[in-house]
Amino acid sequence: MDAEQLAGLLAEVRDGTVSADEALARLRRLPYADIAGARIDHHRTLRTGHPEAVYGPGKSPDQCARIVAEMLSGGSGPVLLTRASADQVAAALAACPDGVAHRPADRQPDPPDGAAQPSTDLATVVWRAAPARQEHMVVASAGTSDGPVASEAAAVLGAFGVDAEMVTDIGLAGLHRFLAEIDTLTSAEVVIVVAGMEGALATAVAGVTAAPVIAVPTSAGYGAALDGVTALLAMHASCAAGITVVGIDNGFGAAMAAMRIVDLAAGRDGGAE
C-alpha cells in the first residue's frame, strides 16, 4: 500500500463506501504479513517510496512463489524477484504469470567468437512495472564479464519505468573505447558504472561527467582481484570526488540508489504516484 492508496481508503471510510471493519481488515496487512517464513513489509512504500524486493538465494521455489503472490495481493508498485534460479523463476511465474523474467543475455551483445559467455543462470523477474519515465540513465560496464551485474541494474531500473541506456565493454585497457562513449556518458542524469578487476572505470567516468556516479564492483578478475575486493577498495579510494560505491555485484542496490536520486530531483514520492 502506498500513500495514494491509503488516502483513498480513508476517503472511502469517510464517505461511507467502505466500512470501518473492512478498512481495518485491509490495514491489518500493515506493516507486514507473515507468509512462507517471511515477514512481508507492505508498509515500505509508505516510508521510502519504493516497495520491498524479494532476494532469491536461500529461498525455495515455493517460498518465492508465495512471497511474490502476497506482495502482489497486498502491496503496491513494482514487485521484483532478484538473483532467481530457473526453478525459482518457473515457480513464481506459475503462481503469478504476469511477470517478465530478465536474464543477463537478454541485454548483452553476442560475444566475439571464442570469448567467454556471460552467466545466464540468474534472472530478475518483474511484476507490475511502473509507467515509463523520462529520466536518462546510463549503465556502463567495463567488460562483458561484468554484463550480468549491469543487466540486473538495468532490469531494476526498467521495473521503475526507466529505460536505461547500456554502454558495454568500455574498460580502460582500451582507452579508445571509453573515449568513444564520452557524449553518452556526459548526457546522462545518473551513471551506474559496473567494473571488476582494478575497477578503474568508475574514476574515469566520474572525471568527465557532472552526473551522480554509482560504482558497482564486480567479482570478475584473476588472483589479486580477490573476487571483487580490489575493485571495491579502488572505487572507495578513487581520486574523483563524490562517487557512491555499493557492494560487490550489487546491481540491484545501485539501481535503487539511482531511483532515490532521480525521485528526489523530480520531487516525486518514489513509486507512490
Domains of the chain as residue ranges with CATH: 31-129 (no CATH), 132-273 (3.40.50.1970)
Beta-carbon count within 10 A of 131 CB: 7
Q: How many CA atoms lie within 13 A of 153 on its CB side?
A: 38
Give the three cell numbers for residue 119: 552467466
| Closest of 26, 32, 18, 90 to residue 56, by C-alpha | 90
pLDDT, averaged across the chain: 85
Distance CA 90, CA 198 (A): 37
Q: What per-residue confidence (pLDDT) applies to 30?
A: 61
* Contact call for residues 82 and 123 (beta carbons, < 8 A): no
Cα angle 159-161-164, degrees, rounded to a multiple of 5: 90
pLDDT band of residue 29 (cuts 50, 70, 90) is low
**Residue 260: CB partners within 8 Å, gap ≥ 6?**
49, 50, 270
User: Running DSSP on this structure, what letter comes out for residue 108?
Assistant: S
pTM over 0.85: no
**pLDDT tens digits along 232-253:** 999 999 999 999 999 999 999 9
